[in-house]
């Protein structure tokens, strides 16, 4: 019976570890997608006004404040 339980435990452990690994990969893909699109939006708006923003300027700081306020209001 002990051998059977060890085999069962190992099988379950493999499935759980596989699920954790897949979940981590999906989360990383989602985070990459979000940050890539945030950058794309910022660049699109910079180019639209033909006014290149630099990180650290007031517009970026204002955007940060707005996003933080929206996060806190959800």
Q: Give pLDDT, residue 34.
A: 94
Q: Give pLDDT, residue 53.
A: 52
* Phi-psi label, residue 56: left if phi above 0, alpha if psi -120 to 50, beta otherwise: left
Q: Give pLDDT, residue 4.
A: 73
**Residue 57 carries which DSSP code?**
S
Measure the CA angle with vertex 54, ends 48 and 73; round to 5°: 80
Contact 53, 60 (CB under 8 A): yes
Q: What is the pLDDT along the chain (74 residues), one digit of tens a residue?
A: 667 788 889 999 999 999 999 999 999 999 999 999 988 888 787 766 665 555 546 777 787 788 887 666 66
Q: Give pLDDT, residue 67.
A: 81
């Amino acid at each position: 019976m002990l051998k059977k339980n060890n085999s069962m435990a190992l099988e379950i452990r493999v499935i759980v570890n596989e699920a954790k690994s897949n979940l981590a990969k999906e989360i990383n893909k989602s985070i990459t997608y979000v940050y890539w699109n945030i950058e794309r939006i910022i660049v699109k708006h910079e180019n639209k006004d033909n006014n290149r923003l630099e990180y650290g300027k007031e517009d970026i700081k204002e955007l940060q404040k707005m996003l933080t306020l929206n996060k806190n209001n959800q």
